[in-house]
Amino acid sequence: MNIIKRSGMEVPFDAVKIEEAVKKANTSVQEADQLSDSQIRLIADHVTGQCGEMKRSPNVEEIQDMVEEEIMKQKAYKLAANYITYRYKRELVRKSNSTDKQILSLLECSNEEVLQENSNKNPVVNSVQRDYMAGEVSKDITRRFLLPQDIVEAHEKGLIHFHDADYFAQHMHNCCLVNLEDMLQNGTIISETMIERPHSFSTACNIATQAIAQIASSQYGGQSITLSHLAPFVEVSRQKFLNEVRAELAAQNIDADEEMVSSIAEMRVKREIKQGVQMIQYQVITLMTTNGQAPFVTVFMYLDEVPEGRLRDDLALIIEEMLLQRIQGVKNEQGVFITPAFPKLIYVLEEDNIREGTPYWELTKLAARCTAKRLVPDYISEKIMKSLKDGNCYPCMGCRSFLTVYHDEQDKPKFYGRFNQGVVTINLVDAACSSGKDMEKFWSIMDERLELCRRALMCRHERLKGTPSDVAPILWQNGALARLKKGETIDKLLYNGYSTISLGYAGLCECVRYMTGKSHTDPEATPFALEVMEYLNEACRKWAAETNISFSLYGTPLESTTYKFAKKLQDRFGMIPGVTDKNYITNSYHVHVTEPINAFDKLTFEAQFQELSPGGAISYVEVPDMQDNIEAVLAVMQHIYEHIMYAELNTKSDYCQVCGYDGEIRIIEDEHKKLIWECPHCGNRDQNKLNVARRTCGYIGTQFWNQGRTQEIRERVMHL
C-alpha cells in the first residue's frame, strides 16, 4: 500500500510514522492526558485498516484526518487539540512555499499526480516540465490573486472544477474551429513570414500543419480543421500536372491524346494526395508544441460540405487516403506500426454513404475498417445533427466541444474562425450527497453551486476582455480566427454568440442513483435525470440573456479530474455504495461503465441526453476486437446515423515491445494494491516498453492515466 505525499510523490505506507507522530504530540500534554503505548498502536492499526479499505493511495491529509478521529475516539481531547493546532501551524508554513516544492517535485519526476495528469504528455521531457512549471506558477497566481477566495475553495473541495488554471494567468482561450479556408485562399503570416495562396495540394497541406503547430501554442484546448478546405487545391495540382505532362510529352515528340494526358496527370495527383496526407499525419504526430505535446487536432471528413461533382470526388480521394494511412498506423521505436493519438478523425455519416449502393458506401466501409483497427474515426450523424443544430452539420472543437449556431452579417451560418472561452464544471454528485436526499434542499444547493459556476465563468470571460490581437497574431490577425488590426482587442468576438463559454457537468449517473436509489437508465429515474439536465440548460439560457454571452451546457471529459472529484467525495461523504465507492465518477450523462447494456440500447438511451448537452457531448460503446467483424461495426454506424448525433466505438490497440505481443495489455493490482499495466504474455510491467492506446475522454490517450481513470478503464463492460 502506498501514500501520496504533499509534494505529489507516491511512497510506501509506513504505520510506524503514524505512531511516531502521535507519540510526539503525546509529549505536548500532561501525563494525565497522555495515551498509553497500546492506545497509540491501536490508533495506528485502525488508520492502517481504513487506508487499506480505500482501494487507492490515500494522501497525507486524509491520513492525518483519520488520526485526529482516532485520537478523539480515545477521548484524548487535549491531545487532539494540540495535534490539530500543530497541523494548522505547519499548514501556514507550507502555504508560503508549496509552489516551490511542487516545481521541484516536477523536475525530479516524483510528483505522481502530475506524472499521470495528461495521458498525452510525457512528464520527463524538458518541454513538458517547463510547461508544468509555468502551470504551477499560473495556478499559484490564480489562487492568490485572480479568483475570488470562495471560488478557489469550492474548486479545492471538489464542488466545482475551474479547468485549466495552469493557463489562466495568460490571456488564452480554450478551443477553436480553424478557418483554414481563409488562411489558404487569402494568404496568412506565420512567424512574421508572408504565406501566399498555395500552388499545389502538398503545399497547402504543409501550410496547414505549420498553422496547426502555431495555433496549438497560442491556446490550451483542441482545434479542428476540415479536409474540405484542402480539397480545392487538388484541382490546382491537377491543372499543374496536366500542363507538365503535355509539355513533357511534346518535348519527347510523343503524340498523345487528352485521355492519355489526363491518365498520367491523375496518377501524379493521387501520388501528391498520398504525400500531402502523409505530411499532415506525420507532422501532427512529430510536432511538439510549447506545452510539450503533439497538437490536439481533429480532422473533419464531411463529403456534403462541398458541392457535388469533381470537388466532392477529390475530397473523397483525400478522405480515402487519410483512412488508409491511419489503418497502417505509425512506427514506434521498434519499427512496429502502432495506433497514434492524433490527429483525431471524425467521419460524417450521410445519405450518400450510409447504405450499400450509395455513392460513397465503399468509403464508409473503409472507415469501419479503420475504427476496428485504430479506434478512429468517430462518427457524426448528419441527419441527427441537422435536426438539432438548425439544419447545420459541423465539427466539434477538439474532442466534444460544439459551438452554438451563429449567423454572420450576411445571415449565413458561420462556424470556422470561432472559439470557446473556457469551462467550469459542476460536480453533480457532490450537490446530491450534500442534500442528504432532500429534494428541496438538492435544488437549493444546485442554485448555490450554479451561482459559483456563473461567477467563475465570468472570471474567465473578464480575463479575456481587453486582450489585444497582438498576443497571438496567427489567431486574431492572420485568419485562423479573425483578421483584427494590430492593437485591436478581441472583445467584439466575446459577445453576440460569436464564441461560447461552457458550463460543464459531471456525474449525472451517480447523482441520480443517490437521489432516487436507481440508475438513470431505470424508467422511474430517467425523468429526474432529464430534469437535472434541463435545469442546467435553463441556467445557461438565463445567463446568456443577462450578458449577451453564449453560455452553453457541456458534458465534461473528465481525465485527471475524475480522480480528484472521487477522492473529495470520499473525504466528505465516505463510501456510499454505487455513488462514491469508486475512484472515479462517470463522465457527463454516460451510462455507468459497469452497467450491462447493449450497444444499440446505450446509444439510443444517451441520445436524449446528448440533445440536452448542446455545448458538447459524445457517446461511446465498448467493443472487443472487431477487425474480423466489420459488418457489426457498420451496423453500429448505421444505428448512430439514425439515432444519435455524435458517437464512437472503443476497442483496444496495444503492443508489448519486450515480446511483441499485440493483444490487449491488461490492468492488474500490484503488491501495493496499485493498478498497473502488464503484458499477459511475458509479464512486462515497464510502461516505457508498452504501447497502450485507450480512448478515455473522447480522444485517444497513449501516456497512461491516473489511478482513478485506470480503474474506470479496467471496469468497463462490453456493449457488443
Q: CA-CA distance, 670 to 676, in Å (whole number)?
A: 7
Residue among 219, 213, 136 at smallest CA distance from 172: 219
Could you give the angle at the alpha carbon of 345 between the alpha carbons of 282 and 402, nearest 5°? 130
Catalytic residue among 559, 606, 622, 712: 559
Catalytic residue among 396, 397, 433, 540: 397
Catalytic residue among 422, 555, 615, 698: 698
Helix (H) or strand (E) holding 241: helix 232-251
- φ/ψ of 267, rounded to 5, equals -60, -40
399 is catalytic: yes
- E strands in 241-293: none
Catalytic residue among 420, 583, 653, 684: 420
Other Cβ atoms closer than 10 A to 380: 27
Catalytic residue among 66, 183, 396, 399: 399
- φ/ψ of 299, rounded to 5, equals -110, 125
534 is catalytic: no
Catalytic residue among 7, 57, 174, 499: 174
Q: CA-CA distance, 342 to 322, in Å (whole number)?
A: 12
Q: CA-CA distance, 678 to 675, in Å (whole number)?
A: 10
- Is the distance from CB of 254 to CB of 295 less than 8 angstroms? no
397 is catalytic: yes
Catalytic residue among 554, 563, 620, 646: 554
Catalytic residue among 9, 175, 205, 679: 175
- Is the distance from CB of 353 to CB of 364 less than 8 angstroms? yes
* Measured CA distances, 277 to 168, 208, 234, 242, 326 (Å): 35, 11, 12, 21, 10
52 is catalytic: no
Catalytic residue among 206, 291, 401, 469: 401
637 is catalytic: no
Burial class (CB in 10 A: 0-12, 13-18, 19+), 436: exposed
613 is catalytic: no
175 is catalytic: yes
Helix, strand and coil in the chain, % to nearest 5: 50, 15, 35
96 is catalytic: no
> DSSP states of 301-353 as a string?
E-GGGS-TTHHHHHHHHHHHHHHHHHHH-EE-TTS-EE--S-SEEEEEE-TTT
Interior/surface letters 192-209, b for 16+ CB within 10 angstroms, e for the rest: eeebeebebbbbbbbbbb
420 is catalytic: yes
Active site residues: 174-175, 397, 399, 401, 420, 554, 559, 698
